[in-house]
Structure 1
Amino acid sequence: MTGEPTLSATGLVKRYGRVTAIGGADFDLLPGEVLAVVGDNGAGKSSLIKALSGALVPDAGEIRVDGELVHFRTPIDARKFGIETVYQDLALAPAQDIAANMYLGREKRRPGIAGKLLRSLDYTSMRSEARRVLDELDIKVKSITQPVETLSGGQRQGVAVARAAAFGTKAVIMDEPTAALGVAEASKVLALIDRIRQRGLPVVLISHNMPHVFDIADRIHVHRLGARVGVVSPATHSMNEVVGLITGALRLGEDGAVEEVEAAVRTGLGR
């Protein structure tokens, strides 16, 4: 996959007092790919993704969408540029139905006076469009009007992902989408991610599950100590090599091959 990155960042920095959450991080998401972002707990993955989705304002660095310099102050800013995020908590309203959740915060009003003056919602249109998106992504539910609280964990994940796919035009960011799911439901979510990729919408997948990463990702962004240490392909690098990059036992050479790092350097004693 080549071409100008759909979403990119250069030299992102975010500090909280003496703690550096992001230390000059770079990022590139190419058109139509699934890019996995992996790293240990505390590596700065969440802070990086929050900066890219508008939930965090970096102290320094640049973010670009299709090469255009952007400044995200809130997630709403990121949405305006077509960046949608599916967080681990899914941000769904359990008591409301599927269509209402698909349009949560973006409700459509009825045309004419009813919508403008009475602020009446266009439920027919929202339900029709929600059904179309679910069918297009092959997400199976009994009824578009059933409450989200009646859905399985995998179906709830599907609704959240469908909402992001419906409104995302540039990228969908997914934070640990299979973390709380069983084997069967996780497989369905991975298939859903593949269908989004087939629609031409690139996906950023944050995950600790290496088998899932190697099953679905086109490229793997390895994050360590607040910065990107390399980007590798599942086709050319093994799972053990990626784990070595995450822990700091290995590093990428100039030719893209991995090489061992001395223990003193790995722990910072050799600095």
Structure 2
Amino acid sequence: DGKQELFKSPIEAREAGIETVYQNLALSPALSIADNMFLGREIRKPGFLGDWLRMLDRPAMEKRARDKLTELGLMTIQNISQAVETLSGGQRQGVAVARAAAFGSKMVIMDEPTAAISVRQVAEVLNLIRHLRDQGIAVVLISHRMPDVFDVADRVIVMRRGRKVADKTIASSSPEEVTGLITGAIEQV
């Protein structure tokens, strides 16, 4: 929203609409896709069953998870209640991105989302990033893979040793220049 914020906890950031997709994905392998998407935000059944017995409304969670995965073009997944551990690396990344985008996010921070997945899965993840961007969700992409950065980003900010050394539009830079800035071969711009 253009204003500076100071958060005291990750929960405060999440409540402000900032989500994170971690490099390790932070998914629970034995839980279902829907359970992972709603982890910490479970939908409870209405009335006594939800308020007192804390029973989950699994059909509502599964429907919302299915809707978000469909919206993101990820419904190649056959069974929304299957365990995440049965999914490919790209599908797991898709679940993590869908979880980040499912709750009215304003910004998604993605830490190395294309590390350790196949070329085909990289293309799928980059399409997800484009989809988020096209929905008006700001994406902060942390990556050392310059082709990915230049494929989906509008701007590049280069950090080296905890300091910002460059802030440029993609159009005014190149992968070689950014790599040089990262490594220190090129001084601060």
TM-score after normalising by structure 1: 0.67
Q: SS state of the match for residue 187, structure 1?
A: helix
Look up the equivalent residue of 2:16 and give its one-letter code: F
Report what 1:196 is aligned to. Answer: 132
Q: Deviations over 1:188-214 (max 9, x none)?
A: 000111011111101000001111111
Q: Deviations 1:25-44 (Å, cap 9, x if unpaired)?
A: xxxxxxxxxxxxxxxxxxxx
Which has more helix, going by share of residues? 2
Distance, in Å, in 1 between the alignment partners of 2:178 and 2:28 is 37
Q: What SS class does the counterpart of residue 156 from structure 2 fall into?
A: strand
CA distance in structure 2 between the aligned counterparts of 1:168 and 1:209, rounded to whole angstroms: 28
Deviation of 1:95 (Å): 1.0
Alignment partner of 2:40 out of 105, 125, 148:
105
Instruction: Specify every segment of 5 or more residues in structure 2 that has no aligned partner in the other structure, as ranges.
Output: none
Please give the residue correspondences for 1:56-75 in structure 2 after superposition, counting only pairs within 5 Å: 66-67=2-3, 69-75=4-10
The TM-score normalised by the length of structure 2 is 0.95
- How does 1:38-187 map onto structure 2 within 5 Å? 66-67=2-3, 69-139=4-74, 140-187=76-123
Q: Secondary structure at the match of 1:215?
A: helix
Larger radius of gyration: 1
Structure 1 unmatched runs, 5+: 1-5, 7-65, 254-271
2:177 is aligned to 241
| RMSD, aligned CA | 1.3
Separation (CA, whole Å) in 2 of partners of 1:242 and 1:119: 51
What percent identity do the matched residue pairs reach?
A: 57
Whether the aligned pair in 2 keeps the contact of 1:79 and 1:168 (CA below 8 Å) is: no
8 Å Cα contact 1:176-1:208 kept in structure 2 = yes
CA distance in 1, matches of 2:6, 2:171: 35
Where do 4+ consecutive residues of structure 1 move more than 2 Å? 247-253
**Using CA pairs below 8 Å that are at least 6 residues apart, which structure has the higher relative contact order?**
1
Q: Could you tell me how far 1:74 is from its partner in structure 2?
A: 1.6
1: distance between equivalents of 2:184 and 2:66?
46
Aligned to 2:155: 219
The count of corresponding residues between Structure 1 and Structure 2 is 188
Displacement of 1:225 in angstroms is 2.2
